[in-house]
Amino acid sequence: MTPKEVHRWLLKSSVLAALVICLCVLVVKLHGLLRETEAVAAVKLSEQAAIPEPTEEPEPIEASMTLSEWLTQTAYGSRFTELPEFSPAHQSSDVITGTAISVDGEPLETEYAAGPDRIMDFGFPEDYTGAKGIVTFRGNNFRDNAQYGLAEISERKFGDSWRQATDGLSDSSGGYWGGSGWTGQPLIVEWPASTRRVMNMYDWAREKEGLVEVIYCTLDGFVNFFDLETGERTRDRVFLGWSFKGAGALDPRGYPLLYVGGGLFNPSGQAPRVLVVSLIDGEILHTFGNNDDFSPRPEWSAFDSSALVDAETDQLIYPGENGVLYIEKLNTRYDETAGTITIDPEETKFTFTSSSAEEFYYGMEDSALAWRGHLFIADNGGDFICLDLNTLKIEWRFDCLDDTNCTGVMELDDTGHPYIYLSTSFHLGWRSWNTAVIPVWKIDAVTGKEVWHRDYTCYSESGLSGGVQGSLSLGKGELDGLLYVAMARCPNAGNGQLLALDTETGEEVWAFTSDSYSWSTPTCFYDTKGNGYVLYTSCIQGELYWLDGKDGTLLDTFPFNCTTEASPVVYNNTVVMGTRSMEIYGITLK
């Protein structure tokens, strides 16, 4: 062969070899694509099924796999094809000065990573509980619902009512606390017959078909139990010994467990704490949170928050006014046949310090929101944080200006992106001794970035703050796109306003002014025809207002004629709420 022919032969051989290599690469890629297609099909199949119970021995996390990647491949993330990337719009290191973690009483010196049996997700609010009722403050992890069922409305008037008396309890300083206080929402549930059978109910209640039980923790230190239909007591009330301002919470799995935190020192001077109570016999199974040396504010261990429970991992989440977030792995054992329930808690604690809180107060009084493994909560010192529950790292911090007592509310837009609506209060002397601006914010929950805010000027008094004290409420159905906010001591020092704001723009759609301010939470409810309404309660004047949710038209009033701070709930055609005058009401909606 001539040199020229050799050159041509080599060129042809090189091209042929390249084609063979390309063909091999293509085969490998096609094989990988087939495997990916099978994986996607499996994910879609899992999205159509109910989330299964975690196995006793979950798959270990591979060293090369991130926590988020592992989460999307487990039962906890099976409904979602991907997790949102929580990326802060601004760093919080200039304000957050430190964090600390304790596991079973020992300080954690390394980074925290939840084990496979403790990785929390928190998905859609309608999946929070399978119980028939309202089991925590504002119903779920979005805090967006205080109604169960739909009302049959014809007259748009309040009808008959029942009343039951409660008592009061002194604190160690001699103060007397009576009735139902801020935010004092009742819990309501229809227990299955098999669960009622093991409870210490009266015989008639245990045997009543379809019994719906009202469970109300009150300032007198008691847990009260009523038949929703008649108001008759369903069992002996249980005395726990501390005044309860917050709502408490029931276990979302339908287990007979109550979680409630004391709000004040008891008459003997014992510090408030969280109590886990068996609703089989009223026994206290566990307490925690009092006199905690881990706390940046150990002298004040009040618990006004309403707990969340992650059903998949058997974990209780409880924020404290001592500045500590408690995560209790309960290790629950419930044997309904034997009528027994036990827990064997393992405790993880988280706290953070900030230059803002150091200037004012540590502590968390609001009830936390949760979504896709993240917790959102404000504190008493102007910090609103997003916390990764599975690493206990703060993703972002938002400046909420003041002592925030109100609970925010979360919604997802049409693409599934999460947003939070929040406001704050006016702690007299912190920002002003006269009036202060109270913003209502819409916040991007992924970045912590403000979407919009609307300002209101409020007055205040020492210990009786203006601003927003209850939760914010989101409209649904025909009220979709409306946010309801009870603004206290606005526009004047003694007045209050119920505001309806446009969720897209923050513009005011309508406002209803009451003669006295409100610390209660406006409650949206709906009838079987799709009409949407709002209940709004004035504090000093003591009236319950029933308004048309679209335009704010006043439809009817119910006079309590006493101080009211608690928040109402609606179960079918009945409104339930308590007053400071030591009475609990069940009011029919006609």
Q: What is the chain's Cα-based Rg?
A: 27
Residue 53 Cα distances to 71, 311, 420, angstroms: 14, 9, 30
- What is the per-residue pLDDT for 16? 46
- CA dist 388 and 112 (Å) reads 11
pLDDT tens for the 590 residues of the chain, in order: 444 343 444 444 444 444 444 444 444 343 443 333 333 333 332 333 333 343 344 344 343 333 334 334 433 344 444 556 666 655 455 799 999 999 999 999 999 999 999 999 999 999 999 999 999 999 999 999 999 999 999 999 999 999 999 999 999 999 999 999 998 999 999 999 999 999 999 999 999 999 999 999 999 999 999 999 999 999 999 999 999 999 999 999 999 999 999 999 999 999 999 999 999 999 999 999 999 999 999 999 999 999 999 999 999 999 999 999 999 999 999 999 999 999 999 999 999 999 988 878 899 999 999 999 999 999 999 999 999 999 999 999 999 999 999 999 999 999 899 999 999 999 999 999 999 999 999 999 999 999 999 999 999 999 899 999 999 999 999 999 999 999 999 999 999 999 999 999 999 999 999 999 999 999 999 999 999 999 999 999 899 999 999 999 999 999 999 999 999 999 999 999 999 999 999 999 99
DSSP state of 60: P
Contact in structure between 343 and 276 (CB atoms under 8 Å): yes
- CA dist 245 and 405 (Å) reads 13
Residues 6 or more apart whose Cβ sits within 8 Å of residue 451: 419, 441, 442, 443, 444
> DSSP assignment of 63-97, as one string?
TTS-HHHHHHTSGGGTT-S-------SS--TTTEE
State both tokens at 554.
């006043």
Residue type at 482 in one-letter notation: L
DSSP state of 11: H
- What is the per-residue pLDDT for 541? 84
- CA dist 590 and 587 (Å) reads 10
Contact in structure between 554 and 499 (CB atoms under 8 Å): no
Contact in structure between 467 and 488 (CB atoms under 8 Å): yes
Beta strand pairing call for 569-571 and 147-148? parallel
Based on the number of CB atoms within 10 Å of its own CB, is 232 exposed (0-12), middle (13-18) or buried (19 or more)? middle
Reduce the DSSP state of residue 353 to 3 states and report it: strand
- What is the per-residue pLDDT for 84? 63
- What is the per-residue pLDDT for 88? 62
Which residue stretches of 300-362 are H helix? 355-359
- CA dist 154 and 590 (Å) reads 6
